[in-house]
Each structure stands twice: as C-alpha cells, then as structure tokens.
Structure 1
Amino acid sequence: MKYIGAHVAVEKGVSSAPVNAHAIGAKSFSLFTRNPSRWKSAPISDVEAEKFKENCRKYGYESRYILPHDSFLINLGSPDPDKLAVSRDAFLDELHRCEQLGLTMLNFHPGSHLNQIGIDECLDRIAESLNIALEQTSGVKAVIENTAGQGSNLGHTFAQIARIIDGVDDKERVGVCIDSCHAFAAGYNLADPEGYEAMWREFDEVIGMKYLSGMHLNDSKKGLGSKVDRHEVSGRGMIGIGFFEMLVNDPRLDNLPLILETPDELHWSEEISLLYSLVR
C-alpha cells in the first residue's frame, strides 16, 4: 500500500500537523518540530507533545509514516569548528524532540564542505556527527536525504551516502530518503523507464534497499543533471507524470512515507488524489 502525504504546516503547534494532514487526505506527513530558520527554538511542552500523539491516534498516523525534517541551518560536516558544534547541538535537539513526540525518524540534509575541506573528510565528519548524536538518543533513525548537487552540498551521489552510512556505528539507526527532484537534478533520469530502473538498481547495489526509509515526491523545474534544486507540481515539470505513475505502482515503495514538497500547498489534496488515481 502507498502512503502519500505532504509536508504540513505547524503554525498552531506540532499537534496541528496530524489535523492538517488529515484535512488534505494524506496517509503520511512531514513536519518541522522547531523553527527551521533558527538555531534555537522554544521547547515543546509536555501538553503539546501529548496532544500531538493523541491527534496521530485519532487520525490513524503511525510513526513509521511520519518523516519530520530538521533545520535548514544544520551542517553536520561543517569545516568551521564553531558552526559544527552548534549544528551538532541543534541536531541533537531535533532528535530529542522526535523522542518526545514518539517519532521514529528524522530526515536531514547531509552537509557541505564549503570548499574548505575535502569531500571524504566532510563525509566522515557527517558520520562522526551522527555517531555523537545517536549515542545520546534512542529509538529515532537518522534519515539521510539525497541532494541535487548544488554548490558544495554533499549527498548527491549514492556513493557519498554509502560512505556516510559506512561510518555510522549503529546501522539500524540510519536510513535514506530519496527526493525525486534532487535525484533528477543530480543526473538520475527518472523521466525514462530505463533510467528509473537504473537508479533503483544502483541504489540497491551501492547503498541497499533495506536503508530506504521514505521519499519526497517532487517534480523538477530544471532539467536532468542541472544540479539545481527547484521543485515543481507533480507531472508539470521536467520529470513528468510518467515517473509518478511508475512510482505509485512500484511495490518496492509500499509501506513508506511518500511526501509531497511541491510548491503550491493549496493543491496538495488534488495532487494526492491525482497520485492515487494513477494506481493500477
């Protein structure tokens, strides 16, 4: 079964996320558990955390179909010691918030070398950051998101992601989220059936399908291999509707959170309905 949803708003507190997801017909969802543009945010109250859990139960959302996203500021591979320290502290706080909410995964962008250290050194630093955070928490899997390859951001090849995983001590607590726009921008031709299969074949050979923990379903405004991260509404971009039809009929992607991050949230309910209509 496919669990398609979207990254929903939490202006009224994290407890509103399940409510907002239910309102658009989502069977899974993503959220920010803190302000993604600040280093520090107010803690989640115990009352709010319990209300979140209650709403998840009310609307039938299990933790395995909820994929929270961490702050955009965090760089677990930062070459700057001060920025690395604050990133590690913020990431640890994100994991603690997930623990508090009863969530079992945290999605994050790997990090950037900022052209100041080597690629391998940065990848190893990201793995070290994960080990430090995972040792201080329990029950939450760190889910690496592939990137588009913009600038000095790492994680745009499966080999890079595999190196991070190799450096993580507890392999049971690391996973991968594939963003379709990022993959296409990085050079994986998801618009073509052969390219679609080639990507999953490489993923399995280099990383392993057992690590696949979710997906972000985004079309792309820019072309194949552009290395530009610009999301587009499903079927209206350079990847095209054929990819989404292949995906929703692919049994390898059953029972995973499949999350829309497309530009117009007012149409997410329509997109979710469209994607389910493609299931044969």
Structure 2
Amino acid sequence: MSRLVGAHFSISGGLFEAARRAGALHCNTIQIFTKNSNQWEATPLLEADIVRFQNECSAQGVRLAFSHTGYLINLATAEDGVHGLSMRSMMQELKRAESLELPFIVVHPGSHKGAGEIVGIVQVVESLKELIDDTEGFRVKIALETTAGQGRSMGYKFEHFDEIFKRLPAKYMKRIGVCMDTAHIFAAGYDIRDKKGYVATMKSFDDLIGIENLLAIHLNDSAKDLGSRVDRHENLGKGYIGLDAFTMLLRDKRFFNVPFVLETPKVDNDANDKKNLRIIRKIVGDI
C-alpha cells in the first residue's frame, strides 16, 4: 500500500477543486481550509457541495482529506472577546469537518498574549473540553499543531502538549491528537538535521506527547535557522533543515501510517509542489 502523501490545496472555485488539484499531482492526501482562513464567519456548506467534494475525492484517488482551521482562532487567550470569537469559529470548523466526514482538523494552540504559559495551557485545556462536550457524538478529532514559538504562541515546546494532555481526562483524549510541523519544531530549537539530533527529538516527542497521538506531519523546510522562533517555510532541501532530516523522517517505520502534507511556498503554477513531491517520492520509493 502506498504511503499517505500530499499537500495543502486551495479550495478556490469550490471544495471539490482541491481534490482535482491533488489528482493532477497524483496525491492521495489533501489538507484544505473549509472556509476563508482570515475570517471568523463562514457561509453554510450546502449538501450539494459536500457530495461533490466527496465524489471528487473518490474519483481522484484521494484516500485522506483533513482540514486546517482559520488563522484567527486563539484557544490559549484569556481575553473574553477574542476567546469567544475563537470558540464560535472553532465550533463552525468542527461542524464543517464533521459534515465533510473529515477525520480531524489541525489548529494552532494560540497565544497567551502575555498572560503566561501556564494560563495559556489552562485556557487550551478548558477550550478543548468545552468544544468536545459541545460536539458529543462527533467523530472528527482536533490535532494541535506544533509551533515555532513566534511571539507568545503556545506549542513550541513538547512539554506544552504534555501539560495539556495531563490535564485532559481520557474521554477527551479520544478526540485529541497532534500535528507535527518540521519547520516549526526546527525553528523552536529541535535539531533534526543529523541522526543524533533526530533520534533525540523523536524520543522527546514520544516521551512527552506519544507517537500514538500523532495524526499528521507537515513536511516543510525552514527559511530561518535553528532556534530562530520565526515561522517561515521553505521548499524541501532549500532551507536550513536539509534533505537528510526528511530522509530519516520519511523512512522512519513508526510514521509509515501517518499522512505527510507539504505546506511549502506556492507559485502561480504547481512547479514547487511537483519538485517537492518528486523529492518525497524518490526518498520513499513506493508512491
């Protein structure tokens, strides 16, 4: 069976167009936004749009589709106004993903905005509890994404996830997971460029988060150096991480069933995606 590999695809023209774009590049996995990523509200999904998206995924050989939430959502803030809007928007995201039968959605934990990391952790925990309680019976999971640590964002330390998970009872953890972003963890200070650093990083991830909780991997090189705490993605092999790290990651048997999705810089055509996918396929060899 081929590995789950793809990219983030635009929904311009309709949700189904993301599947068409994936099919053109022979991708069996897609990440999408289900709404405008820079707006709080969204127009309702029509049943016809849902059916067309699902049919197109089937026609194009897309085996796995999942979504990324909008960028405005902040589950870590204690500021009532922003947090209230974030929870409302997150509920919309969950309902849309459930309607589309997506297995999980990826979300950045958010920023504590100066209140401190402990406050941020508690806010994320309470937010997740409320969201899962309010969507009882849903199957869609929430994948918290590792971050670069830019500004006051949470999720740049594996310890943040450990603290969040320790505070969540088992019934909530059934619908919680993690998305690892290679550019983010590198910018946050996790050196995966050589075998020693890679092994140490993945051991820390497994010890604190648990590989069993890993739902997806964003495969991105970094335009900024190790520990920069700056989130800037680069094409594979063109940034500070380099191809050795991606080779180790893609050939790590622990991740053979985990979807890998590119979020590398786009150009007007598919040239960058094609180059990056070619690199992945050369490393993996069975796609």
Unaligned runs of 5+ in 2: none
Matched with 2:239 is: 237
For 2:189, the aligned partner's letter is: G
Matched with 1:90 is: 89
Deviation, structure 1 residue 166: 2.5
For 1:271, the aligned partner's letter is: N
1:8 is aligned to 2:13: no
TM-score by length of 1: 0.96
Which segments of structure 1 move beyond 6 Å, counting only runs of 4 or more?
A: none
Q: Is the 8 A contact 1:124 1:164 kept in 2?
A: yes
For 1:157, the aligned partner's letter is: K
Matched with 2:142 is: 142
Q: Map 1:5-44; keep pairs closer than 5 Å.
A: 5-44=6-45
Matched with 1:50 is: 51
Q: Is the 8 A contact 1:25 1:269 kept in 2?
A: no
Q: Is the 8 A contact 2:190 2:226 kept in 1?
A: yes
Matched with 1:132 is: 130
Unaligned runs of 5+ in 1: none
Select between 11-20 and 262-271 the one with higher mean Cα deviation.
Answer: 262-271
Q: Is the 8 A contact 2:76 2:154 kept in 1?
A: no
Deviation, structure 1 residue 262: 0.5
Q: Which has the higher contact order (CA 8 A, sep 6+)?
A: 1
Q: Please give the per-residue CA displacement for 1:201-255, whole angstroms capped at 9, x wherever unaligned.
A: 0011111111011100000011111111110000111000111111221111112
Q: Is the 8 A contact 1:146 1:155 kept in 2?
A: yes
1:175 is aligned to 2:185: no
Q: Map 1:100-119; keep pairs closer than 5 Å.
A: 100-115=99-114, 117-119=115-117
Q: Please give the per-residue CA displacement for 1:57-87, whole angstroms capped at 9, x wherever unaligned.
A: 222323xx32310010000111210111110
Deviation, structure 1 residue 165: 2.2
1:277 is aligned to 2:282: yes
1: CA distance between counterparts of 2:139 and 2:266?
33
Deviation, structure 1 residue 168: 3.0
Identity %: 35
For 2:9, the aligned partner's letter is: V
Matched with 2:151 is: 151
Give SS of 1:278's match. Answer: helix
Q: Please give the per-residue CA displacement for 1:155-175, whole angstroms capped at 9, x wherever unaligned.
A: 001110122223334111000
1: CA distance between counterparts of 2:50 and 2:155?
32
1: CA distance between counterparts of 2:15 and 2:259?
18
Give SS of 1:67's match. Answer: strand
Query: How many residues are aligned here?
Result: 277
For 2:77, the aligned partner's letter is: S
Deviation, structure 1 residue 118: 2.2
Q: Please give the per-residue CA displacement for 1:72-126, whole angstroms capped at 9, x wherever unaligned.
A: 00001112101111100000100000011011100000011111x2211211111
Deviation, structure 1 residue 274: 1.6
Q: Is the 8 A contact 1:248 1:276 kept in 2?
A: no
